[in-house]
Amino acid sequence: MKFLEARQLTKRFGGLTAVDNVDFDVDKGEILGLIGPNGSGKSTTMSLIMGLHKPDAGSIHLNGVDIAGWTPNRIAGMGVSMVFQHSRPLQQQTVLQNVLLACLPNKVTHLRVSDAQREKAIESLRLVGLNGVHDKAPSELPFAGLRRLEVAKALARDPDLLLLDEPFAGLSAGEVREFSDLIRHLKGSGRALILVDHNVKSVAALVDRAVAMSSGQRIAEGSPRDVLANADVRRVYLGSQSDTVAPEVRRDDSDAPPVLRVKNLNVFYGKAQALSNVSIDVVDKGVTAVVGLNGAGKTSLFNAIAGLLPSRGEISVRDRSIAGMPAYEIARSGIVLCPESRELFGDMSVLENLKLGGMHLSAADLRERLEFVEQIFPRLAERRRQYARTLSGGEQQQLAIGRALMMKPKLLLIDEPTLGLAPIVMDIISESIEALRKSGELSLLLAEQNMVFASRHADSVYLVEHGSIEWSGPAHQFVEQAGSKIL
Ligand SMILES: Nc1ncnc2c1ncn2[C@@H]1O[C@H](COP(=O)(O)OP(=O)(O)OP(=O)(O)O)[C@@H](O)[C@H]1O
Ligand SMILES: [Mg+2]
């Protein structure tokens, strides 16, 4: 008997079978990898184990007990913890308080955390590298910090089975290595783990076995090597995985004036300086990438350009200053931000979210634009009426980019475009970026951790470190001259 045994697990949402008759096992001291395209049912499978959804059919035996359909608190009491795909900390509480809350015993009569649990919480924060920020508000943490906080919350409960839904999303290569070490350590201490992530190489390096899913079904199982070599898995999930999509012409050596110029930009959060004297030129009708570790200042730069953050310095479009302009005017002028946090309207449908982006268009333009966006992301066309909040992680990312494209941007700023996307969808985005480049319709500014993706498309690259530009130049020189800082 394995520690966890799932048999014929099935979950339907209306007419959609999100998890379809799936079997898998995982034992203590073992990591099972779950891979598959966006919307293939990975998060739903994890939610079924955690009790967040009730299966329509099938069994889940944990240590010999069938827990299928139990409430999440009972399942948590059996030693199961989950790191969710989306970080949702309590904003009124500090980082440490968030972890302490996760440790509260499962009894109304016990609302105090024991000293031992407090120590456990502090130890968990140390393990995930959040030592110095106990008293900060979660809103002060960068994206990766929030992911770390989620892991700390799960660890503080000392789980026997840990479900990790995309722990690597948005992390830089170095951070992924650190997290991988932590996951190995957890396995070594005799826990069972299930890992879902689109960082295929890192998953393959970690897991003992992999299960691949597609449209809710298990399509392959075996060693990570065999599963990744499987023809079906390659077709539905991995795509080409090649660098074939590349710009025909790079614009790094053109003398054309930049579409957007940022000069000596400074941003402060209270007394802390997030950006100091940042200057960048965004290539007209080309692709400019801003790369750097988490917390380096990429998001602050993008938010400042979009008018969402007060800043000092020059931001100009064709010699016209936009610094200090309200965010909506900047957006209307054609400079559109697709934020890392997506900011979708969860209780509105896919179509309503898209239409909001195209609110200023005439009926005919709106229709034409919708067609264009749905052609890039066919999943959005299939799910027009689905609530945005019920979309899978990668589907939400497609909607966020789609909504930004609906605005017909002249300059599109995408903060972490590849976040949570299956490799095959990255291929689609790659192709779209090149198609947009060819159409001469728009200029792109990307903030990326994924250097392979960024350097595939970018004409010019800026490396940000601790709020300053540390290197800039044509993309093809980046790896050689500055790659060691991020790769
Ligand atoms: N409450 C719901 N109502 C309707 N459809 C849902 C609901 N929850 C999930 N789905 C759909 O079920 C499918 C499986 O979703 P799931 O979140 O499990 O995918 P995933 O494999 O985790 O994908 P990703 O890699 O993008 O996170 C998706 O197409 C999603 O849109
Ligand atoms: Mg998911």
Domain of 232, CATH number, reads 3.40.50.300
**How large a percentage of the chain has pLDDT more than 70?**
95
**Cβ(292)–Cβ(467) below 8 Å:** no
Atom number in ligand 1 closest to CA 46? 18
Q: Which ligand is nearest to the CA of 18?
A: 1
* Same-domain pairing of 207 and 252: no
**Cβ(375)–Cβ(408) below 8 Å:** no
DSSP-based three-state secondary structure for 435: helix
Does ligand 1 come within 6 angstroms of the Cβ of 384? no
Using the 3D structure, point to which of 238, 259, 290 is the last residue of a domain.
238
Q: How many domains does one find in the chain? A: 2
Q: Flag the least confident range among 118-132, 212-226, 399-413, 441-455.
A: 441-455
Residues 6+ away with beta carbon under 8 Å from 261: 279, 280, 281, 282, 314, 315, 316, 317
439, pLDDT greater than 90: no
* Same-domain pairing of 119 and 233: yes
Q: Which ligand is nearest to the CA of 346?
A: 1
pTM of the model: 0.89
Please tell me the predicted confidence (pLDDT) of residue 253.
57
Q: How far is the CA of 196 from the centre of ligand 1 (A)?
A: 13
434, pLDDT greater than 70: yes
Residue with tokens 């497609």: 398
DSSP-based three-state secondary structure for 482: helix
For residues 348 and 268, what is the distance between their CA atoms, to the nearest angstrom?
Answer: 34
* Same-domain pairing of 336 and 229: no
Please tell me the predicted confidence (pLDDT) of residue 419.
85
Mean pLDDT over each residue of the chain, to the nearest integer:
91
Residues of the domain holding 173? 4-238
Ion ligand 2: residues, CB < 5 A: 43, 85, 392-393
**How large a percentage of the chain has pLDDT more than 90?**
71
**Cβ(282)–Cβ(458) below 8 Å:** no
* Same-domain pairing of 147 and 280: no
Q: Which ligand is nearest to the CA of 394?
A: 1
**Cβ(416)–Cβ(340) below 8 Å:** yes
486, pLDDT greater than 90: no
For 347-377, how does the pLDDT look when each residue is reduced to its tens digit (9 = 90+)? 999 999 999 999 999 999 999 999 999 998 9
* Same-domain pairing of 271 and 183: no
Please tell me the predicted confidence (pLDDT) of residue 246.
60
Q: How far is the CA of 174 from the centre of ligand 2 (A)?
A: 23
Does ligand 1 come within 6 angstroms of the Cβ of 42? yes
Closest CA to 183 of 200, 204, 207: 207
Using the 3D structure, point to which of 190, 206, 238 is the last residue of a domain.
238
Print burial letters for 335-355: b (CB count within 10 Å at least 16), e (below 16): bbbbbbebebeeeeebbebbb
Atom number in ligand 1 closest to CA 383? 31
* Same-domain pairing of 230 and 277: no
**Cβ(149)–Cβ(141) below 8 Å:** yes
Residue with tokens 């007419």: 15
- Residue 354: both structure tokens together: 């898209």
Q: How far is the CA of 383 from the centre of ligand 1 (A)?
A: 11
Q: Looking at 50-160, which runs of residues are DSSP E strands?
A: 57-62, 65-66, 80-83
* Same-domain pairing of 248 and 103: no
Give Cα separations from 403 to 37, 77, 87 (angstroms).
21, 41, 22
DSSP string, 340-409: TT----TTSBHHHHHHHHTTTS-HHHHHHHHHHHHHH-HHHHHTTTSBGGGS-HHHHHHHHHHHHHHT--
Closest CA to 442 of 393, 403, 388, 405: 405
For 255-298, how does the pLDDT look when each residue is reduced to its tens digit (9 = 90+)? 788 999 999 999 998 888 999 999 999 999 999 999 988 778 99
- Own/partner contacts of 47-55, CB < 8 Å, gap of 24 or more, are 47/82, 48/6, 48/9, 48/11, 48/19, 49/4, 49/6, 49/75, 49/80, 49/82, 49/161, 49/163, 49/194, 50/75, 50/76, 50/80, 50/82, 50/163, 51/75, 53/11, 55/9, 55/10, 55/11, 55/19
162 forms bridges with which residues in the sheet?
81, 193
* Same-domain pairing of 226 and 249: no
* Same-domain pairing of 133 and 157: yes
* Same-domain pairing of 283 and 304: yes
* Same-domain pairing of 149 and 17: yes
Whose Cα sits closest to atom 7 in ligand 1?
390
331, pLDDT greater than 90: yes
Q: How far is the CA of 245 from the centre of ligand 1 (A)?
A: 28
Residues 6+ away with beta carbon under 8 Å from 263: 279, 313, 314, 315, 316
Using the 3D structure, point to which of 215, 238, 261 is the last residue of a domain.
238
334, pLDDT greater than 70: yes
* Same-domain pairing of 193 and 316: no
Does ligand 1 come within 6 angstroms of the Cβ of 180? no
Residue whose CB lies within 8 A of the most ligand 1 atoms, among 12, 13, 163, 197, for a mutation test? 13
